[in-house]
Structure 1
Amino acid sequence: MLKTLSIILSIVGVVLAGFVLITKNFEFMPYLMLILGISILITGLVELQKDRKGFSGYMCIIASLFVFFVSIKVFLLS
């Protein structure tokens, strides 16, 4: 379940990033950051579910929280 959601979010993120790069319309960057944050959070959760309680799972969750913070800040400033 999480693997398919991660793949779908990654595809949507790549398409949205390609659209932003081609059109140079940076209006969708907060949405791209939100999708990136969710994707990183899912990656961290998958790592923790695999009983690899190492550094990478927790680092992914911390990075996703930072991306969520930046995304919300950009949403509020726009």
Structure 2
Amino acid sequence: MLKILRYILSVVVILFAAYGLIIQNFKYNHIMMFFLGLMMLVMGLEEFQKERKAYGWLFFVVFLFSLFVSIKGFLLN
């Protein structure tokens, strides 16, 4: 279940990134960062399930940072 969710989130992130690069319109970067953070959260949960807690905590910290960045993007736009 988590693997499928990770694949879906990675496709969404790639689509937002490709749209921004092709159109040269970066106003949706905060949404891309939000989905990237969710993907990091899912990856962290997968690592916790595999009993690799160091990587799990690292992904969780990256999730919190990208969530903070995306919230700042939502508030500034």
| TM-score, L = length of structure 2 | 0.95
1: distance between equivalents of 2:19 and 2:67? 21
4+ aligned runs moved over 6 Å, structure 1: none
The Cα of 1:66 is off from its aligned counterpart by 0.5
RMSD: 0.7
Q: Does 1:72 align with 2:48?
A: no
Letter aligned with residue 13 of structure 1: V
**Structure-2 residue corresponding to 1:37:** 37
Superimposed CA distance per residue, residues 29-73 of structure 1 (whole angstroms, 9 cap, x where no aligned partner): 0110001000011000100011222x2110000011010011001
Q: Which runs of 5+ in 1 are unaligned?
A: none
Q: Which runs of 5+ in 2 are unaligned?
A: none
2: distance between equivalents of 1:20 and 1:77? 18
2: distance between equivalents of 1:61 and 1:25? 29
Percent identity of paired positions between Structure 1 and Structure 2: 45
